[in-house]
Amino acid sequence: MGGKSTISSESGRQDSLYREAAYEFGPALERLARAYEADPEKRRDLSQDIHFQLWRSFQSYDGRCSTRTWVYRVAHHVAASHVIRERRTFSKLVTLEQVEQLTDRGSAMAAVQQQADLDRITGLIQLLKPIDRQVMICFLEDMDSASIGEITGLSPGNVAIRIHRSKNILAKWFHEGKNHEE
Amino acid sequence: MRNERPGDKLKAIWHDQPTEMTAMTSKLIQMRARDLRAKTRKKLIGTIAGPIAVGVCYALGLWLFPRHASMLHPLFLLALGWSLCGLYFLNRAMWSSVVPGDAGPLTGLEFCRAELGRRRQLLGRLLLWSLGPLLLSLGTFILAIGLSGTPGHSLLPNGLPFLVLTAVWIVVYFGLRVKEQRELRMEIEELEEIGRAAG
């Protein structure tokens, strides 16, 4: 009897934690899914997977990190798993350093110059390997270095370098794309 | 003006994007759980393909070349036993995966490294426990074809296209899997390097 009530109160806690997280971070999770998957059908599937794994994860959430960190970690894990599965390896994806070279050459700009502002940003993010993608998304979600470090596992110094690079790359990529359109 | 705080403008664009809200109702959660179980079942059924293929080779070999049965039996039995053991190791590798929903305490770096490592391990086991016995049984089959070839009615010329196709398939498949393994190793090393830099 007691066991049953403990189970139901645990599952009630899990449900309410999930509901609160879905309410607070729902739009951010949708943006995250968009940054990982371009195909709308697959994106909807990924989004549902993220929500399902998130709901599942709250079974073991012990409050040792903030809900936000937990939610982003789980969401990024699901999305990274999706990328690994879909692309088999990251060989076609690039690092921030390689994107810097891409924008220098301007060769990749032609591919995105006709697209809208948002498509340009998501197009760039979708080129990145999961760790750089995580940093870029967290930066766009307005997180500080410490929070990004907590989610990705990178040191604050490493995060700061990557954010600095991300900013420069985004600005360059974005403005060069604009110039091409003008 | 353009270069003034470019991040802010991009963040604004990022936040202003239209989003469709996804919320899991209990019905959707049950549906997802069912999907997940179905996917796992499919994967498990997929691992049976190896022993089935070896079994087909075994049966076909004995049916076509009964004269060499005494020599073919042990080789085919070895291949079948090998692939049946492979079922256990392949399944163990599949079950050892960390479900993203259970990996909340892991950071992105740790999770990606574990996921890539798991994929690499699974690929290695596929080569050893699935492709290995299949190669042995095909090799035995080809050996039987070769042994049956006599100057009067040689089977080898008729089996030549099959032999060539099999050889090409094996070389291409093996090459692709080894390349994939190498790429995964490079990815893991890259993440390890980032991890070391992170302290």
Number of H helices, E strands in chain A: 9, 0
- Note whether B100 contacts A77, CB cutoff 8 Å: yes
pLDDT in tens, B84-93: 998 888 877 6
Q: Return d(Cα A74, Cα A53) in angstroms, integer.
A: 7
Looking at residue A128, the DSSP 8-state letter turns out to be B
- Min distance A43 CA to chain B CA atoms (Å): 11
Q: Do A134 and B115 touch (CB under 8 A)?
A: no
Q: Which residues of A touch B10 (CB under 8 A)?
A: 121, 140, 170-171, 174
State whether B21 and A175 contact (CB < 8 Å). no
Q: Give A1→chain B minimum CA distance, Å.
A: 24
**B19 Cβ under 8 Å from any chain A Cβ:** yes
pLDDT given at position A111 = 40
pLDDT at B49: 86
- DSSP per residue, chain B: -TTSSHHHHHHHHHHHS--------HHHHHHHHHHHHHHHHHHHHHHHHHHHHHHHHHHHHHHH-GGGHHHHHHHHHHHHHHHHHHHHHHHHHHHTPPPGGG-TTS-HHHHHHHHHHHHHHHHHHHIIIIIHHHHHHHHHHHHHHHHH--SSS-SHHHHHHHHHHHHHHHHHHHHHHHHHHHHHHHHHHHHHHHHHHH-
With 90 as the cut, is the pLDDT of residue B113 above it?
Answer: no
Mean pLDDT across B137-146: 83
- Nearest-by-Cβ selection for A158 from B23, B107, B197: B197
Question: What stretches in chain A show pLDDT beneath 70?
Answer: 1-8, 10, 87-95, 97-116, 174-182
Closest residue in B to A152 (Cα) is B108
Q: Is B115 on the interface with A (CB under 8 A)?
A: yes
* Residues A105-143: tens digit of each pLDDT: 555 454 444 446 777 788 888 888 888 889 989 988 888
| Residues B22-67: tens digit of each pLDDT | 766 777 777 877 887 787 777 777 788 889 989 998 998 888 888 8
Instruction: Please state, as a whole number, how many other Cβ atoms lie within 10 Å of the Cβ of residue A90.
Output: 23
- Closest-CA residue to B62 (of B140, B165, B152, B161): B140
CA distance B168 to B149: 22
- Percentage of chain B exceeding pLDDT 90: 8
Given A61, A76, A89, which is nearest B108 (Cβ)? A76
Best CATH choice for the domain A2-87 from the list 3.40.50.10380, 1.10.1740.10, 3.40.30.10, 3.40.720.10:
1.10.1740.10
From the list B9, B17, B110, the residue facing A118 with the nearest CB is: B17
Domain map (residue ranges) of chain A: 2-87, 96-181
Q: What is the pLDDT of residue A75?
A: 93
Q: Does B100 touch chain A (CB under 8 A)?
A: yes
Contact B184 A89 (CB under 8 A): yes
| Distance between CA atoms of residues B138 and B132, nearest Å | 10
The predicted-structure confidence for B119-130, as pLDDT tens digits, reads as follows 888 888 888 888
Q: Which two tokens stand for residue A101?
A: 């070279």
Among A148, A46, A78, which residue's Cα sits nearest to residue B101? A78
Phi (first) and psi of residue B155, to 5 degrees: -85, -20
Q: Does B187 touch chain A (CB under 8 A)?
A: yes
